[in-house]
Amino acid sequence: MAFDPSRYSSFSYRDVVWMAERYEARFEYALHGEGVEDVIFTERVQFTPARTPADEKSLQALLVVLGAVLGLSYFKAAAPPVYRVEVPGLTDAALGYLETVIRHGMAEYAYTNGRSGPLEVDIQRTAPAGSEFPPENWRLPDGDPIVPIGGGKDSVVTVELLHRARLHPIQFAVNANPLIRRVAHVSGHALITAKRTLDPLLLQLNNEGALNGHVPVTAMNSLIALCQAQILDSGPVVMSIEATASEPTLEVDGWEINHQWSKSLEAEKALREMIGPQAGLVPESYFSILRPFSELRIAGEYAHHTQYHRVATSCNRAFRLDAGDVGWCADCDKCRFVFLLLARYLTPWALEEIFGANLLEDTAHIPGYEELLGLARHRPFECVGSEAEAVVALAGVASRSQWADASVVAHFREVIDDLDTPPEDLRQQVSAAGESLSMPDGFEEAQHALR
């Protein structure tokens, strides 16, 4: 039977249950409409257990807001105009955070589903609001840092920076696959995991006509990591997000749409401003140590860590449900972009060993590189850097004798004037360190190694 999104007028976040003996949280949601049965969803998140009891008050407060954000995976099936929070404990700060995440974190979803602007959602809190933690009671967990990893170059660099500074990173992954486990093993640092189980009904509805599209996964995983840090009394949560994640993918009549919004500086600030009043955590409990840097600078650091080159991948196709145990697909926008960055520092032979192909010798990739360079439509809806980064990276690649005659490089030498010498403002934009938010003592020293 077909699923008709237009028949649903509201969505509700109905329940959150923390099963302490199992270290598992269960969340319940529902879609409602006139003349149709409610569609009920249940999601579970299983955390790594701790030897000692968790700080239940802060953990419960974080779980409430985590459930509100995880609910967007189900809300999007119909995107009705009303989102009801029927679970007690969401503070005004957390309610404002949810509004921000929906407006900006689901902008791409709105755009790709034919909306002319951000989702206009009436968020109704029908349960008692949470009591805000007063600032004088906010705290910073003083355990080892939790570093979310995805098996790619950025989190590798973070782990190695913290290792060099003797800050003892604990690697953390949601739904760790064999690839992530191999990368974690190479580092020599412990890996802990959480398992997020989506309701299979969602996948069924997607096949029956439900609306689908991008959701703010980084916001979800960040909150899961913060919950895990509370369970283990560890922290802070140290992200691996670069400066250019803040740049919009495209702009339509003044509406900025950023595929990476939940990785942006704006999103980082919003989360930090919320966790104090909601959960009693100081802002420094969450930050990205790579925030000031371009993807190109991070790739330059990653190039030195050759022990990871044959096991790590930043290709998102490796994380599809049906992908199996794969590395780089060598045929997507992410692969094209990272290949270009690494070509600035590595030889063709080394990159062929990593990717299984030489993307700069295959002219079939030219249209994809045109998008990355800003020569066609807009940047891809993918976790790739800015057009300025791509231009500066290509210039650096073109100036290296090993790459100068590669087919793709040769093509753009005919298209782009003075390919080897990009405008100074672009070079400054890529090389200059950007804004970084406050961090606990010791982490600035680790960050300084990249400055």
Per-10-residue mean pLDDT, the chain, length 451: 94 97 96 96 97 82 98 98 98 98 98 95 96 94 93 96 96 95 96 98 96 97 97 94 92 93 97 98 97 94 96 81 67 95 96 95 95 84 88 92 93 86 77 84 89 67
Which token pair is 331?
A: 């045929």
Closest CA to 107 of 121, 95, 93: 121
Beta-strand pair 10-19/250-252: unpaired
Q: Cβ atoms within 10 A of the Cβ of 40, count?
A: 14
Tokens of 272: 């930090």
Contact at 8 Å (CB) between 409 and 360? yes
Long-range contacts from 70-73, C-beta under 8 angstroms, 24+ separation: 70/27, 70/43, 70/45, 70/196, 70/220, 71/11, 71/13, 71/27, 71/29, 72/101, 72/102, 72/105, 72/106, 72/215, 72/216, 72/220, 73/43, 73/198, 73/202, 73/215, 73/220
Q: Which of 319, 214, 316, 314 is nearest to 257 (CA)?
A: 214
Q: Does the predicted model carry a pTM greater than 0.75?
A: yes
CB of 328 closer than 8 Å to CB of 315: yes
Scanning 84-216, the segments in alpha helix (DSSP H) are 92-105, 107-112, 153-164, 178-187, 200-207
CA distance 43 to 14: 12
178 token code pair: 């064999």
The sign of the CA dihedral 323, 326, 327, 332 is negative
- Contacts by residues 379-383 (CB-CB < 8 Å, ≥ 24 positions apart): 379/249, 379/250, 380/249, 380/259, 380/333, 381/108, 381/112, 381/214, 381/249, 381/259, 382/259, 382/316, 382/332, 382/333, 382/334, 382/337, 383/245, 383/259, 383/260, 383/263, 383/314, 383/316, 383/334
Task: Give the pLDDT score at 321.
Answer: 47
Cβ neighbours, 10 Å, residue 256: 14
Report the alpha-carbon distance of residue 398 to residue 344 in Å, rounded: 9
Sequence-ordered alpha helix ranges (H) in 208-241: 217-232
Please, which residues bridge with residue 15 across strands?
28
- CB contact at 8 A, 30 and 14: yes
Residue of 233, 243, 17, 270 lying closest to 145 (CA atoms)? 233
- 3-state SS class at 237: strand
Residues 6+ apart with CB under 8 A from 336: 359, 365, 368, 369, 372
Q: What distance in Å separates the CA atoms of residue 450 and residue 59, rounded to the nearest whole number? A: 34
pLDDT for res 317: 76
Question: Do strands 82-85 and 170-174 pair parallel, antiparallel, or not at all (unpaired)?
Answer: unpaired
Contact (Cβ atoms closer than 8 angstroms) between residue 48 and residue 68: no
Q: Provide long-range contacts, Cβ within 8 A and 24+ apart, for 47-52.
A: 47/23, 47/194, 47/227, 47/228, 47/231, 48/23, 48/192, 48/193, 48/194, 48/228, 48/231, 48/232, 49/23, 49/231, 50/23, 50/231, 50/232, 50/233, 52/233
